[in-house]
Amino acid sequence: MRNPSLEKLDPLVGRWTLTLSDAWFLEPPGTEVQGWAVFEWVGDAFILMRCEIGGESGYELAIGRSDARDAYAAFYHDDRGVSRLFQMTFDEAGWTLTREDPDFHQRFLADVQEDAIEGRWEASDDEGRTWRKDFDLTLLRSSEQP
- 66 has a pLDDT exceeding 60: yes
Residues 132 and 124: their CA atoms lie apart, in Å, by 6
Q: What is the pLDDT of residue 56?
A: 78
Encode pLDDT of 106-139 as tens digits: 999 999 999 999 999 999 999 999 999 999 999 9
- The answer to pTM > 0.75 is yes
What's the CATH superfamily of 4-142?
Calycin beta-barrel core domain (2.40.128.20)
CB 18 within 8 A of CB 53: yes
- What average pLDDT does the segment 12-19 reach? 96
- What average pLDDT does the segment 48-76 reach? 92
The amino acid present at 38, given as its one-letter code, is V
Return mean pLDDT, the chain: 93
Q: What is the pLDDT of residue 77?
A: 96
- 144 has a pLDDT exceeding 70: no
CB 52 within 8 A of CB 35: yes
